[in-house]
Amino acid sequence: MEEDILYHFSLSTKTHNLPEMFGDTKFVCVGGSANRMRAFAQFMHHEMKLTGTPEDIRDICEGTDRYCMYKVGPVLSISHGMGVPSISIMLHELIKLLHHAQCRDVVLFRLGTSGGVGLAPGTVVITDKAVDYSFRPKFEQVVLGKVITRSTELDEGVAKELLQCSNELQNFPTVIGNTMCTHDFYEGQGRLDGALCSFSHEEKLEYLRKAYEAGVRNIEMESTVFASMCRVCGLKGVYL
């Protein structure tokens, strides 16, 4: 294309020098909340002892209110909103950005909260496979009216490295397990307190027992598309 407009980032190959801005990126950390990803960028700024003050970091996507983006050294911190549609839009434009910026050997990390299954509160789950509501490791994308199925296996090597790091730190319990991706926060995750609820407490517990037996250790709303897009595009992805 003569120009590639990354619309939801308010960036473009014509108006911005993407290799100069992002070419040294090695780690991309994404999470749902804009405030959390700003706080994470400030934390990384402090940890890397960079010049300036963490409070002065600038939102690169300030021209739009869809996502926020902060660059701190080789680390890119980006918000992705809630659910598969929101994160998939962000991932399309992020992957194109990394391509145009000529980045190499980049690792993508998703950082966020989730609902644990059979785990103590505060446990960190490193995703082995992202699974759908039937506990299948696949993501179904409808393209031109046809269902395209993609694998959702993540990079095993990086996951094991992170588990080893957590064992050395010993600050919090960490496990590797499957992450179930649902379409919504309430009915899809078996919550009884939504505006709609067509099942009993006993039915909810039976479903969660089946999920646990299938290796599911946490539930959220973005993992399958994250894993499938990283895999198809040849990117190392880690889901936390």
Tell me the C-alpha to C-alpha distance, in Å, between residue 45 and each of 29, 39, 51: 14, 10, 8
Which residues share a beta bridge with 115?
Answer: 219
Instruction: Look at residue 170 in the predicted model and tell me its pLDDT.
Output: 81
Contact status, residue 172 vs residue 116, Cβ threshold 8 Å: no
Instruction: Look at residue 115 in the predicted model and tell me its pLDDT.
Output: 94
Mean of the per-residue pLDDT values of the chain: 96
Which residues share a beta bridge with 124?
Answer: 174
C-alpha to C-alpha distance for 152 and 58, rounded to whole angstroms: 33
Contact status, residue 77 vs residue 27, Cβ threshold 8 Å: no
C-alpha to C-alpha distance for 208 and 199, rounded to whole angstroms: 13
pLDDT at 87 over 90: yes
**What pLDDT, in 10s, does the model give residues 174-209?**
999 999 999 999 999 999 999 999 999 999 999 999
pLDDT at 140 over 90: yes
Report how far apart the first and last C-alpha atoms of the chain are (Å, whole number): 35
Residue with tokens 């479903």: 207
Mean pLDDT of 155-170: 90
Please state whether beta strands 107-110 and 138-143 pair in parallel, antiparallel, or not at all (unpaired). Answer: unpaired
DSSP collapsed to 3 states, 153-177:
ECCHHHHHHHHHHHHHHCCCCEEEE
59 CB neighbour count, 10 Å cutoff: 17
pLDDT at 172 over 90: no
pTM of the entire predicted model = 0.94
Residue with tokens 């609820």: 197
Mean pLDDT of 92-116: 97
Which residues share a beta bridge with 108?
Answer: 28, 237
pLDDT at 67 over 90: yes
Q: Which residues, other chains included, contact 83 with Cβ-Cβ below 8 Å and sequence gap of 6+?
A: 183, 184, 221, 222
pLDDT at 1 over 90: no
Q: With CA atoms as reference, report the closest residue to 230 among 49, 94, 35.
A: 94
* 123: its two tokens: 């446990």
